[in-house]
Amino acid sequence: MLVKLTEVCGTGVVTIGNKYTLREVFVNPKHVVMVREELHMRQLNEQGMISDGLNSEHRFSKLIINKGQSGSEIIVVGAPERIESILQVSKKVLRG
The region that residue 78 occupies, defined by phi over 0 for left and psi between -120 and 50 for alpha, beta otherwise, is left
| pLDDT at residue 52 tops 90 | no
Domain count, the chain: 1
- Displacement of CA 87 from its chain's centroid (Å): 12
pLDDT the model gives residue 18: 67
Answering whether pTM is above 0.85, one says no
Average pLDDT over residues 40-46: 91
Across the chain, what does the average pLDDT equal?
85
Domain limits for position 77:
3-95
